[in-house]
Amino acid sequence: MNVQWMRLSPPRILVLGFAGIILLGTLLLMLPASSRSGVSLPFIDALFTATSAVCVTGLVVVDTGTHFSTLGQIVIAILIQIGGLGFMTMSTLVAIAFKRRISLRERLILQEAMNQSTMEGIVRLIRKVVVYSLILEGICGTLFAIRWSFDMPMGQAIYYGYWHAISMFNNAGFDMFGEFRSLTGYVYDPLVNFTAMFLIIAGGIGFVVLSDLVEYRRTKKLSLHSKVVLLATGLLIVFGALVIFVFEFSNPRTLGGLNWGGKILGSFFQSITPRTAGANTVDIAGLRQATQFFLIILMFIGASPGSTGGGIKTTTFIIMAGAVIAMMRGREDIVFFRYRLLQERIFKALTITLLALLLIIAVTMVLSTTEDSSFLMILFETTSAFGTVGLSMGLTLKLTTIGKLLICFTMFAGRLGPITLAYALGQKKGKELYRYPEGKMIIG
C-alpha cells in the first residue's frame, strides 16, 4: 500500500490529501458535540461545510455562529488553516519540528502545491509561509479583539478576533456574527474594515510576494512575478472600487443610505472581497444586477498564485490581457517590465482560463435544471464556488442535494486548480518523440 502511494503523481497526492482532510472534517462536524443543539448535522450539510472550510470558500448551508458549538467552530477554524496553507505545508511543518529530512518526492509535491516552477528553496519558503501567517493572524487578531471588546465580553472578543483573523487571512469568508450577516454591522468601522482588507490582500497576493516585500529592505528588488501581482492587484482593487461606487452610489439597499465615508469604505471592501475572501459589509443580494455581474468577473479572476485564494489568478488574467494587447499591436512577444514571457506560460494561462470557463458553464447549466432560481443567481453562486470566494445572493440555503454536491465539487476543483485536477484524473503520458509539420488556419 505504501509502495502504491509513493507511485502516485504529485497532483493525485494533492487531490487525495485534500479529499481526506474534507472527509475527516465531515466526520468531526457530524459529531453531536459539534452542534449547539446536540443533534448530529446531516452528512450532506457536514460535507458541504467541511468542503467549504478546507477549500477556504465560505459558502454555508447552516449559520456558523448559531449552529455550531465551540468545538465545531474550532474544527472549522483548523480546517480553514489547513486548507489555506495546504496540508502538505502543515505536514512539512511537523516534519521540520521533529527534525526529519524532507525527501525529494515531498519537495516535488510541495512544488506542485505551492505552484512553484522549481524546487529550489521550497522548504525555506514553507517556513516563511508558516511564520508570516502566524504573525499576521496574531497582530490582526489582536486588533479585532481590541475593537470587539467594546461590543462583547473580553473573552469572547479575543476568541472572535483570532477566529476571524484566521478566516480573513485564509480568504475563507466564514464569520460568527449570526444570521448570515458577515461584517454588515461594521460598514462604517475603519478599524474592522482596514484590518479585514489588509488580511484579505496579504493572504491573496501569495507567499512568494509576501517574502519579496519583507526582504525588500535588504534586496532592494522585486521579482517579475511580484511586480506583476502587485500591479494587477492594485489595478483591480482601484478599478473595482470605482465601478462599484458608480453603480451603487444611489442604490438604497447598499451604498445609497450611507454617508461619503461609508460609501468609500463599502466600495473598496466590496472590490477586495470578491478576490476570494467572501466577507461583505453590504447586502450582496441588494446590489444592482450590473454590479453583481461585475463581481462575477472579479471572482473569476480571483487571487494570485501560491496564495490562500482561488480563481484563475491575477497573473493568468494579466497574461491573457497582455496577449490581446500584443496581438492588437502586431507584436509576437508579451513583455512585462522588459521581460519576455515564454510561450509555455501563455499556453498554460489559456488552458487554465478555458478549463475554468468550461467548468463554470457546465455546472451552471446543470444547476439551472436542478435549482429553482434565476440564471444570474446560479451563475453568481457557481463562480463564487469556483473562485473559493463565499459570496452568495442567497442560493446556498436553498440548494437541493444535487446542487450541494455540485457546488462541493466546484469548490474542490477551484481550490486545487483545474490543471492540477486534470493532471490527477488523466493518464500520464511520455514526451512526444516527433512533431507534425506546421499548418495554417484562418482565424477571425
pLDDT, average across residues 134-147:
94
Q: Which residue has the higher pLDDT, 14 or 432?
A: 14
Closest to 144 in 3D by CA, of 121, 177, 116: 177
Write out pLDDT tens, residues 42-88.
Answer: 999 999 999 999 998 989 999 998 999 999 999 999 999 988 877 55
Closest to 391 in 3D by CA, of 271, 280, 242: 280
Q: Which band of pLDDT confidence, cut at 50, 70 and 90, is reported for residue 180?
A: confident
Burial category of 78 from C-beta neighbours within 10 Å (exposed 0-12, middle 13-18, buried 19 and up) = middle
CA 248 to chain CA centroid, Å, is 25
CA angle, 214 then 215 then 221, to 5°: 115
Q: Which band of pLDDT confidence, cut at 50, 70 and 90, is reported for residue 101?
A: low
Q: Is the pLDDT of residue 18 over 70?
A: yes
Q: Is the pLDDT of residue 5 over 50?
A: no
Q: Is the pLDDT of residue 3 over 50?
A: no
**In the prediction, which pLDDT does 9 show?**
65
Q: Which band of pLDDT confidence, cut at 50, 70 and 90, is reported for residue 94?
A: low
Report the SS3 class of residue 180: coil
Write out pLDDT tens, residues 220-236.
Answer: 888 888 899 999 999 99
d(Cα 314, Cα 236) in Å, to the nearest integer? 9
d(Cα 141, Cα 167) in Å, to the nearest integer? 10
Q: Which band of pLDDT confidence, cut at 50, 70 and 90, is reported for residue 329?
A: confident
Burial category of 316 from C-beta neighbours within 10 Å (exposed 0-12, middle 13-18, buried 19 and up) = buried
Write out pLDDT tens, residues 286-327.
Answer: 999 999 999 999 999 998 887 778 889 999 999 999 988 888
pLDDT, average across residues 206-210:
84
**In the prediction, which pLDDT does 434 show?**
66
Q: Is the pLDDT of residue 433 over 60?
A: yes
State percent of the chain over pLDDT 90.
Answer: 53
Cell numbers at 104, concatenated: 525529494
How many CA atoms lie less than 13 Å away from 15 in the CB half-sphere? 18
**In the prediction, which pLDDT does 429 show?**
55
Q: Which residue has the higher pLDDT, 223 or 246?
A: 246
Q: Which residue has the higher pLDDT, 372 or 87?
A: 372
Q: Which band of pLDDT confidence, cut at 50, 70 and 90, is reported for residue 13?
A: confident
Whole-structure pTM value: 0.89
Size of the chain in residues: 444
State percent of the chain over pLDDT 70.
Answer: 84
Residue 144 to residues 66, 131, 151, 158, 167, Cα–Cα distance (Å):
20, 20, 11, 8, 12
Closest to 30 in 3D by CA, of 21, 41, 39: 41
Q: What DSSP line would sit under 226-256, residue for residue?
A: HHHHHHHHHHHHHHHHHHHHHHHTT-TTTTT
Q: Which band of pLDDT confidence, cut at 50, 70 and 90, is reported for residue 118?
A: low
